[in-house]
């Protein structure tokens, strides 16, 4: 079972939602990707207001409804709107079958507004997929590095966090979270550089690495190849490609 922990269904210009879903599913079929976790919305909004946060989650719900056996929803939450985020968790995870939470770039990961969201995640056993990056050109002021995620994770030892992009600068990001066992780096969003997966397995172990692509922003093939082409065992590949994530999500 191959599960992609990290995609966004964002239509190309002129494409409908159903067409974008069909294109995405066709690519998944071609590459043997069984399921994909969908988050955010139809476009990137750095600072979503309450209405936009509702709309973005509704977009993911209607995407999942197009192929409920293939797409898994993650609730897009915002520490700027903690009360609304808790409502959205009830609507989409408790009642709607979404199986994780997504935090993006509207505030740093260690923002106090994330605490209520993480407490609810702990109660429900939902993994929290959190964006991280270290940019040589400088991050956005509210864009987390792995260090911000470590601060949040230490406040919430009962939550499993998926560290999106392994920190972008993965040689640094993997080392930053090496000794924080409830942070699981994902494989996605970087250029497909040789050595990434091998180093991740050496530093955090195959049990803590989770396959993701960041499609539509990246291709499934380039990101999948980081794992399938890595110099690791088939058992390790199985863990990374699906077994770890299946273990992290509620049924």
Judged by CB under 5 A, which stretch of 90-98, 143-151, 213-221, 239-247 contacts Zn ion?
Answer: 213-221
Give CA–CA dist 75/22, Å, rounded. 22
Chosen residue from 214, 223, 241, 248 binding Zn ion by CB under 5 A: 214
In the complex, what is the shortest distance from the CB of residue 191 to Zn ion, in angstroms, rounded to a whole number?
15
> For Zn ion, which is the closer residue by CB, 7 or 232?
7
Using the rule CB under 5 A, is 4 a contact of Zn ion?
Answer: no
In the complex, what is the shortest distance from the CB of residue 179 to Zn ion, in angstroms, rounded to a whole number?
25
Q: How many residues bind Zn ion (CB under 5 A)?
A: 1
> For Zn ion, which is the closer residue by CB, 8 or 120?
8
Judged by CB under 5 A, which stretch of 85-93, 108-116, 195-203, 214-222 contacts Zn ion?
Answer: 214-222
Judged by CB under 5 A, which stretch of 114-122, 212-220, 225-233, 236-244 contacts Zn ion?
Answer: 212-220
In the complex, what is the shortest distance from the CB of residue 10 to Zn ion, in angstroms, rounded to a whole number?
10
> For Zn ion, which is the closer residue by CB, 215 or 232?
215
Judged by CB under 5 A, which stretch of 11-19, 50-58, 197-205, 209-217 contacts Zn ion?
Answer: 209-217
> For Zn ion, which is the closer residue by CB, 42 or 214?
214
DSSP states of the chain: --EEEEE---PPTT--HHHHHHHHHHHHHHHT--EEEE-S-SS--SS--HHHHHHHHHHHHHHHHH-TTTEEEEEE--TTSHHHHHHHIIIIIITT---EEEE-SSS-TT-TTHHHHHHHHHHHT--EEEE----TT---TTPPPHHHHHHHHHH-TTS-EEEEGGGSSHHHHHHHHTT-TTEEEB--SS---TTHHHHHHHHT-GGG-B----TTTS-HHHHHHHHHTSSS-HHHHHIIIIIHHHHHS--
> For Zn ion, which is the closer residue by CB, 43 or 154?
43
Site residues (vs Zn ion, CB under 5 A): 214
């Amino acid at each position: 079972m191959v599960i992609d922990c990290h995609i966004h269904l964002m239509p190309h210009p002129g494409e409908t939602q159903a067409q974008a879903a069909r294109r995405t599913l066709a690519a998944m079929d071609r590459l043997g990707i069984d399921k994909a976790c969908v988050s955010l919305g139809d476009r990137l909004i750095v600072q979503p207001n309450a209405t936009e946060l509702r709309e973005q989650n509704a977009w993911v719900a209607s995407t999942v409804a197009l192929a409920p056996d293939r797409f898994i929803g993650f609730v897009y939450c915002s520490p700027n709107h903690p009360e609304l985020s808790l409502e959205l968790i009830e609507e989409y995870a408790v009642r709607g079958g979404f199986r994780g939470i997504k935090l993006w770039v509207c505030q740093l990961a260690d923002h106090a507004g994330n605490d209520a969201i993480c407490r609810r995640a702990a109660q429900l056993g939902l993994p929290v997929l959190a964006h991280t990056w270290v940019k040589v050109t400088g991050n956005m002021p509210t864009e987390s590095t792995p260090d911000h995620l470590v601060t949040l994770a230490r406040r919430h030892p009962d939550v499993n966090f998926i560290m999106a992009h392994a920190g972008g600068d993965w040689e640094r990001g993997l080392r930053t979270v090496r000794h924080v066992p409830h942070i699981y780096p994902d494989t996605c969003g970087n250029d497909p550089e040789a050595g990434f997966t091998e180093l991740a397995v050496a530093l955090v172990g195959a049990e803590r690495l989770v396959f993701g692509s960041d499609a539509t922003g990246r291709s499934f093939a380039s990101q999948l190849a980081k794992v399938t082409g890595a110099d690791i065992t088939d058992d390790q590949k199985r863990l990374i490609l699906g077994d770890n994530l299946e273990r992290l999500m509620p049924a």
